[in-house]
Amino acid sequence: MIIVHEKTIELDKINQNINIVHLSDVHYGAIRHKKIILDLRDKLNELPPSCDLAIISGDLADGSCVVEEDDSLPLKDVNIPIVFTAGNHDFYLGIENVYNACRKAGIIILDNE
């Protein structure tokens, strides 16, 4: 199940509204396989048009199975940019596999940037 919690954060140096969806610990793998990516795509596309960006901040994969190049492909259909930075679980069976799946889905990867 994907649950959305809304929070407002005010920052002194930003004088415009920016709506960001923050996701973490998706844990795609042997138990939460293709359905979680499809559910994630659908939930992101249900968000209001005012949403500017989605950030996945770690553990997109859980390390229980190899991530194939097409595994994140449904996220290519999301209507907003997605940025990904890896967590510890993403390295367990090969970070390059996770990165390749993200690249194919059009996800922006931040790696020490």
DSSP codes joined into one string, 38-52: HHHHHHHHHS-TT--
For the stretch 12-64, pLDDT in tens is: 998 899 999 999 999 998 888 889 999 999 999 999 888 999 999 999 999 99
51 CB-near residues (< 8 Å, 6+ apart)? 19, 20, 21, 80
Amino acid at residue number 35: K
**pLDDT at 69 (0 to 100):** 95
**pLDDT on residue 87:** 93
What is the rounded average pLDDT of the residues 83-105? 95
Q: How confident is the model at residue 95 (pLDDT cuts 50, 70, 90)?
A: very high
Kindly state the tokens that stand for 4: 């959305």
8 Å CB contact between 44 and 80:
yes
d(CA 36, CA 45): 14
The pTM assigned to this predicted structure is 0.90
CB 54 within 8 A of CB 81: yes
Share of the chain above pLDDT 90, in %: 73
